[in-house]
Amino acid sequence: MAMKIRLARGGSKKRPHYSIVAADSRMPRDGRFIEKLGTYNPLLPKDSEDRVRMNVERVQYWLGQGAQPTDRISRMLEAAGVVEKKERSNPNKAKPGKKAQERADEKAAKAAAAAEAANAPAEEPVEEAAAAEEAAE
Q: How far is residue 17 CA from its own chain's centroid? A: 22
Each residue's pLDDT tens digit in the chain (137 positions)?
A: 789 999 999 999 999 999 999 999 999 888 899 999 999 999 999 898 899 999 999 999 999 999 999 999 999 999 888 888 888 788 888 788 889 999 999 999 998 888 888 787 555 555 665 665 666 66
pLDDT of amino acid 135: 65
Q: What is the pLDDT of residue 126?
A: 56
The DSSP line for 52-78 is EEE-HHHHHHHHHTTPEEPHHHHHHHH
